[in-house]
Amino acid sequence: MDTRDRQKRMRKASPVAPVGMAMPSWPQRVSFCVPGMVADGNGGCVSALCAARTHPLVDQASNEKLAKYERMVQERFDDIVPTLKRISALQHETDFETRAQQIARERLGFELPAAVLADAWVTTLDMRRLYGTSVLRTFLELARETCTQTCDSDAEVEAMTRFFIECGFHEVDVSACADGRLKGLLQYILRLPQQAVPRHKSYAGTLFDVELNVKQWAETELHRFREGLPTLPDSGTRYLKIAVYHFSSSDPLHEGCAAHGSNDREAAQAALDRLHAFSTAIENGFCCGASVATLLIGVDTDNDAIRVHIPDALGDMSLDCYVDNIALYQATAECAQSDALWRLGATVEEAAQQHGRSTPETGMRRLIERLLTHNLSQIDYVCTNHQGRYADIGHAERFISIGDGFDKVHLRNLAYIGHMHTVEEGAADLDVGIKIFTRLNVARGLPVPIAIHYRYDGQVPGSRGRTVTRCRRVKAAIEARYPDLMRAGWLVCGMTVQAKKPGSELETVADNDMDRHGH
Amino acid sequence: MDTRDRQKRMRKASPVAPVGMAMPSWPQRVSFCVPGMVADGNGGCVSALCAARTHPLVDQASNEKLAKYERMVQERFDDIVPTLKRISALQHETDFETRAQQIARERLGFELPAAVLADAWVTTLDMRRLYGTSVLRTFLELARETCTQTCDSDAEVEAMTRFFIECGFHEVDVSACADGRLKGLLQYILRLPQQAVPRHKSYAGTLFDVELNVKQWAETELHRFREGLPTLPDSGTRYLKIAVYHFSSSDPLHEGCAAHGSNDREAAQAALDRLHAFSTAIENGFCCGASVATLLIGVDTDNDAIRVHIPDALGDMSLDCYVDNIALYQATAECAQSDALWRLGATVEEAAQQHGRSTPETGMRRLIERLLTHNLSQIDYVCTNHQGRYADIGHAERFISIGDGFDKVHLRNLAYIGHMHTVEEGAADLDVGIKIFTRLNVARGLPVPIAIHYRYDGQVPGSRGRTVTRCRRVKAAIEARYPDLMRAGWLVCGMTVQAKKPGSELETVADNDMDRHGH
């Protein structure tokens, strides 16, 4: 276990001034840090919640790998504006197109749309279009690169799937809020290999689709009965549904979940209600003791710390009975590893007892302890790499992701996610996304990049074609919904489809006419 | 078995002039009937396809019950215009509101919206609104009445379900075209108790949703594994998917399926392709010999005669190999009952042999024979009650039905059906409906009544509320799509929801504000 003193941790932290303050030119003192942050003795501030040394249970190798990946991704997006600025400065020179493409290739790794460059002489370079397509293209390139940095090995996936089954869960299905700050939920916050959690979708306010989820559950169960996979039907394992809401500890009234008016309790209750509806639907709709397990988790989007609501022996949860992982982190950061493990092993029972409730089944308890451990690494990660509190505690997404969501390139605040099949149903979610990007981008003269993405089943004849049609229909509906933005070039949409098979590539969809059936 | 000579059949036929001709005042002769129709010797015309006597296999009691029901329903709708005309004539009299309601109660069986009557003095009576609400209300009243005339008894449902299982099919699922002329498919054309076919939905051009259907199949199969219902998983029975397309024998190029440009072959091929996609999806997506049975049926909407495409021993079908039931009807109408049965029993094999194909499994063959028999009654019904060819060979729907479709009041041309979850996906279907009604109604000064209807699962918490929200969202989307019609009062929408449980009532939904979650 790597240990370091606070001094060392603080030197690693990048010297970013607290939000809303210019970098002071005199030596820093405690009083210059925003509330909740303290001087790190090295000219910067760090969250008062961070321990002075690395937590004994941290997976250091994984933290380093993830930090490297985060830096790489952020740099790739950060390169876009300076590159386009440089190209813009050349637009009236004679060999503009050639030089522009050369710069783009060198600095961004891809060429810009030739037509946009060729048209520059008529009026001026369409920078909105170039910016929008560059953001979407950067994402595509990242998604296509062999994922040596973050992809989980088959062995890791298999080990985690086996662990879930040992805990009594043959499938783990996670629904989170669409908020971009949860975009790193699996890879960073919970440290779960994505392929071990095949169903993970985002819905504004964690309001997942109960009826659809029942159908998905039925498919999983049918596979067990027909094929004995992933477990035999009489193995006693269950389908586990996890719902994830979020809140902001440093600015709870503004930076919490917008779908619930930044009201933590309301956000948590709404997610709990959906879990209850889901399990009731299955108990009522299928006989003979059909049941699922459920788990409610909250995420503090300031520092990625989770709180896990502890189910009682019957699986019931309450809003008040949870393990707060930041408290566990603080209580165990200075311990020896064995002591930290001992404290971790007692925390679930303590939380239950404190609220006069029974303790969960052994398997559920084991799973919770594992999730808490994983998240300790992430808390430490944020302390090391982001001063224990993200500089962008609010929205700072790069683009809007509409549709089925991407299974590649996961990172906090990478994208605002609107999981929807139609704009008609998802209009409220989409409006929020546009509102966020009007502030983030349009106000700065940049357009809103929208990545429309749907997945098809290669085993179903015609599925790809229908999915392409859906992409185009949704694009048309988005463009129809914001005619003013559209006219002024503030919306740049890209479309991709992808087979459902794990590891399949993103395929870009062209802007052709819809080949839909008229009546 | 009731037998009658042609003279008697023709007397029963109502004296409607051939389409496009005024009622002649001199004695009729053969030459005054349109092609395909012949003089009935009694001043009218009758299809040349109709036999002179009642077919020996006809279910006479059922035909009489259905005819009575059809007349009753048509009269109820036909009463609306004269009643409103009479009320309109009174609108400037002093006790107008009281007298209007009295007339409405007496002649329509319900009161008109009081606010519309009360506002009449300001300008003039809003007849569009009154007509639209009266059509929707008439339908509601019909749906709510105890269905003594057409509802199938539990015994009939059970017998048919048992027959399906004996044929090797534990569930029969029917997808037809949304065309209103197929609205009587189960009750009239195929004579199947509706509850024996729990899944029966309509899609423009029979282009049913393959992916959704796979999920529904999985639910059915899971019930078999978990509960042994309707059959045990090892019973060897299969899920049967029937797709129904349609065509018009007397005007094939204009009155066929609009979704396929009135091209019979294209309509049939499209339905066959979907069946193939559905079975392939299941074979590929689930191991161990998962498979379903499929059947393709065409309906001649002029006379309700079906053609059943004959699967070979492996279940494959071709567009050309089918039993044409109008031919069977003609070949057997003059036979004794036993001879007719013998011919029926040979027809499937003959069709297969004629095309050099193997014959279907015994169960499938038995089912086809049953469907052909049922449809012989309907062919005879159309001969007796509609001169063997409907006067309205084209569209003559009373209203547009949007959403999940009604399980009550089934009748040819009662409603144009758009099965959709969102207007965004169903826009093309909806546009066709509006186009049809612009011709049928708006051209005559009448508005387009639209019944929006969705079903909820009473066993799923929150399902009713979400379904009500969907009703309102779809209504708003419809109104937004046709702003000109809306402004002028040409659209009158009504909303209902209904629990999925068989026998549950229609519940009207008020026009309140949407209680959707903002983000």
> What DSSP string runs through A304-367?
--EEEEPP-TTS---SS-EEEHHHHHHHHTTS-HHHHHHHHHHHHHHHHHHTT-PPPPHHHHHH
Q: Say if A102 falls within a structural domain.
A: yes
Using an 8 Å Cβ cutoff, are B250 and B305 in contact?
A: no
Distance from CA of B290 to the nearest CA of A (A): 9
Cα-based distances in Å from A231 to A223, A227, B35, B70, B418: 9, 9, 66, 54, 41
Interchain CB contact of B227 with A (< 8 Å): yes
Q: Tell if the CB–CB gap between B461 and A277 is shorter than 8 Å.
A: yes
How many degrees, rounded to 5, is the angle at CA B354 between CA B348 and CA B357?
Answer: 75
- ipTM, interface predicted TM-score of the complex: 0.86
Q: Tell if the CB–CB gap between B424 and A477 is shorter than 8 Å.
A: yes
* Residue B210 and residue B351 in one domain: yes
Query: What is the per-residue pLDDT for A514?
Result: 44
Q: Does position A54 have pLDDT exceeding 60, yes or no?
A: yes
Interchain CB contact of B221 with A (< 8 Å): yes
Q: Say if B122 falls within a structural domain.
A: yes
Average pLDDT, chain A: 90
- Counting runs of H as helices and runs of E as strands, what totals does chain A give? 15, 13
Is A179 among the residues known to form the active site? yes
Please give the distance of CA B504 from its chain centroid, rounded to a whole number.
20
Interchain CB contact of B222 with A (< 8 Å): yes
Sequence-separated (6 or more) residues with CB below 8 Å from residue B57: B332, B337, B340, B341, B344, B373, B376, B377
Final residue belonging to a domain, choices A116, A144, A172: A144
* Residue B59 and residue B96 in one domain: no
Six token digits for residue A167 = 């805990």
- Considering only CB atoms, B517 lies closest to which of A223, A259, A276, namely A259
Distance from CA of B154 to the nearest CA of A (A): 22
3-state secondary structure (DSSP) of residue B30: helix
Work out the pLDDT band at A146, boundaries 50, 70, 90. Answer: low
Q: Does position A261 have pLDDT exceeding 60, yes or no?
A: yes
Q: Say if A519 falls within a structural domain.
A: no
* Residue A279 and residue A195 in one domain: yes
Dihedral sign for Cα atoms in the order A430, A433, A438, A441: negative
Task: Check residues A31 and A35 and name the one with the higher pLDDT.
Answer: A35
3-state helix, strand, coil in chain B (%, to 5): 45, 15, 40
CB atoms within 10 A of CB A64: 14
**Total domains, chain B:** 4
List, for residues B200-239, the tens digit of each pLDDT value: 888 889 999 999 999 999 999 999 999 999 999 999 999 9
Q: Does position A463 have pLDDT exceeding 50, yes or no?
A: yes
* Residue B382 and residue B428 in one domain: no
Q: Does position A220 have pLDDT exceeding 60, yes or no?
A: yes
- Considering only CB atoms, A258 lies closest to which of B205, B460, B519, namely B519
Cα separation, A297 vs A316, in Å, equals 14
Cα separation, A219 vs B238, in Å, equals 17
DSSP A87: H
Chain A residues in contact with B266 (beta carbon < 8 A): none
Interchain CB contact of B52 with A (< 8 Å): no
Q: Say if A294 falls within a structural domain.
A: yes
DSSP A53: S
Beta strands in A158-258, from DSSP E residues, in sequence order? 169-177, 199-203, 238-247
What sections of B228-263 are H helices per DSSP? none
Cα separation, B224 vs B221, in Å, equals 5
Q: What is the 3-state secondary structure (H, E, C) of B381-396?
A: HHHHHHCCCCCCCCCC
Residues in A 397-456 with any Cβ partner in B closer than 8 A? 421-425, 428-429, 431-432
* Residue B140 and residue B159 in one domain: no
Query: What is the per-residue pLDDT for A12?
Result: 45
Task: Check residues A497 and B23 and name the one with the higher pLDDT.
Answer: A497
Query: What is the per-residue pLDDT for A9?
Result: 57
Query: What is the per-residue pLDDT for B403?
Result: 93
Work out the pLDDT band at A394, boundaries 50, 70, 90. Answer: confident
Q: Tell if the CB–CB gap between A423 and B423 is shorter than 8 Å.
A: no
To 10 degrees, what angle do helices A463-481 and B210-227 make?
A: 120
Cα separation, B216 vs B200, in Å, equals 12
Chain B residues in contact with A459 (beta carbon < 8 A): 280-281, 284-285
- What CATH number does residue A475 fall under? 3.30.1330.140
Q: Once rounded to an integer, what is the mean pLDDT over residues A385-396?
A: 92
Chain A residues in contact with B233 (beta carbon < 8 A): 225
Q: Say if A481 falls within a structural domain.
A: yes
Residues of chain A above pLDDT 70, percent: 92
Q: Once rounded to an integer, what is the mean pLDDT over residues A192-199?
A: 92
* Residue B104 and residue B174 in one domain: no
Q: Once rounded to an integer, what is the mean pLDDT over residues A479-486?
A: 96
List, for residues A282-324, the tens digit of each pLDDT value: 999 998 788 999 999 999 999 999 999 999 999 999 999 999 9
* Residue B335 and residue B205 in one domain: yes
Cross-strand pairs, A45: A39
* Residue A209 and residue A338 in one domain: yes
* Residue A224 and residue A257 in one domain: yes
* Structural domain boundaries enclosing B29: 6-65
Instruction: Residue A507: name the closest of A464, A476, A473, A446 by CA.
Output: A464
Q: Say if B514 falls within a structural domain.
A: no
Instruction: Residue A401: name the closest of A411, A387, A390 by CA.
Output: A411
DSSP A55: -
* Residue B139 and residue B31 in one domain: no
Q: B222, B234, B419, B467: which to substitute to probe chain A, counting the most A Cβ within 10 Å?
A: B222
Final residue belonging to a domain, choices B144, B173, B200: B144
Interchain CB contact of B215 with A (< 8 Å): yes
* Residue A133 and residue A162 in one domain: no
Q: Once rounded to an integer, what is the mean pLDDT over residues A236-252?
A: 96
Instruction: Residue B308: name the closest of B249, B375, B389 by CA.
Output: B375
Sequence-separated (6 or more) residues with CB below 8 Å from residue A210: A274, A277, A278, A281, B460, B461, B462, B463, B466
Query: What is the per-residue pLDDT for B390?
Result: 95
B512: Cα within 13 Å, side-chain hemisphere: 10
3-state secondary structure (DSSP) of residue B332: helix
Query: What is the per-residue pLDDT for B92?
Result: 87
Q: Say if A14 falls within a structural domain.
A: no
Sheet holding A293-300, edge to edge: A199-203, A169-177, A238-247, A293-300, A306-309, A322-324
Task: Check residues A71 and A201 and name the one with the higher pLDDT.
Answer: A71
Q: Say if A152 falls within a structural domain.
A: no
**pLDDT below 70 — which residues of chain B?**
1-31, 146-150, 513-519
* Residue B136 and residue B56 in one domain: no
- Per the residue annotation, which of A126, A173, A179, A324 is the catalytic one? A179
